[in-house]
Amino acid sequence: MAHSIKEIAAALGAEAFGDVELTVAGASEPGNAGPDDLALAMSPAYGDALREGNARVAVLWSGADWQQFGLDAAIIAPRARLAMARLTQMLDRPLQRDGISPQALIDPKARIGADVSIGPFSVIGPDAEIGAASWIGDQVSIGPGVTLGEGACIHAGVRVQRGVQIGARVILQPNVAIGGDGFSFVSVEPANVEIARSTLGNDPMTPPEDPTWHRIHSLGSVVIGDDVEVGANSTIDAGTIRATQIGDGTKIDNLVQVGHNVIVGAHCLLCAQAGVAGSTVIGDRVVVGGKAGVADNLTVGDDVVLGGGTVVLSNVPAGRVMMGYPATRMQTHIDSYKALRRLPRILRDLTKR
């Protein structure tokens, strides 16, 4: 669908210049843009590429002189990524809604709301409740007693286990697994991992008489708030007794593991390959960087930022920015890293004396 520059600017809350009645059919990177594309050149770094392309209209950075690029019209976006969010929402193709596929298997005890779309080979279990206007792709499994809020979007291959509660407008990307059993095992006598933790590794590790791991079953479930998104191939384990919880507005990237009994607050970001171990509490608005890890039974306060690759082994007070392994304040980590890099030179200078 074509949109005028005036319409797009209004949707972005931005200012438009030039021939605002021009229409575009889609968005493009500056160097590849054609005359019917809206070139996205939201920083000066894209200026040269914009000149090389064939775009007539572009979204530009604040303060840009749009006429020097030979454009017929332009939109000035002071906050580029926010403009990108609104623009992509406007231009994205809607999901195809074909109602309930005849190849879907829906238990007679399931309750399906109005205007729900369910793809082929998906299975909806007994006593499951699917909210109005939800969209469920193909080969999705919705277990017994699952509650799915209104307007949810469940992509292909998702597995939602029994009793999970999911809020409104939640997006689950392909192959997400929600509500699998937690990784909980115990031995008859204290295992070497318990001894290592209690003695800080000072006692020798010896073979136990009975190495059997006894499984602790997950009797709890998972409760996910409204407006949550979970990326492809991520997993959220069921709680042992109480439910694992994900707060409203939290966004979880691909390949993230959230362990059993974890509580994640509202409006958090958990980036790719991050892991949160069992029974840890993550506050509101926390950012967990890529490949970061948080050990079990800890508390991470509100508004904490954990840099990529950070490993948290103790509680983190609210508002801290942490980096490194083990995690320390960002400035402490940077100072330590600088000192470590200087160490070879210092040692070399000392040997010359």
Question: CB–CB of 127/186 below 8 Å?
Answer: no
Looking at residue 212, what DSSP letter applies? Answer: P
Question: CB–CB of 102/52 below 8 Å?
Answer: no
Question: CB–CB of 327/313 below 8 Å?
Answer: yes
Q: CA 75 to CA 90: how far, in whole Å? A: 15
Question: CB–CB of 56/22 below 8 Å?
Answer: yes
Q: Cα-flanking dihedrals φ and ψ of residue 84, to 5°?
A: -60, -40
Q: Which of 3, 155, 260, 333 is catalytic?
A: 260
Beta bridge partners of 252: 230, 270
Q: CA 345 to CA 351: how far, in whole Å? A: 10
Question: CB–CB of 113/95 below 8 Å?
Answer: no
Work out whether strand 129-130 and strand 111-112 pair parallel, antiparallel, or are unpaired.
Answer: parallel
Q: CA 104 to CA 123: how far, in whole Å? A: 6
CB-CB neighbours of 116 under 10 Å: 20
DSSP secondary structure string, 299-336? EE-TT-EE-TT-EE-S-B-TT-EEETTTTEEHHHHHHH
Residue 248 to residues 224, 284, 287, 310, 336: CA-CA distances in angstroms? 7, 10, 14, 25, 37
Active site residue 260: yes
**Residues acting as catalytic residues:** 260
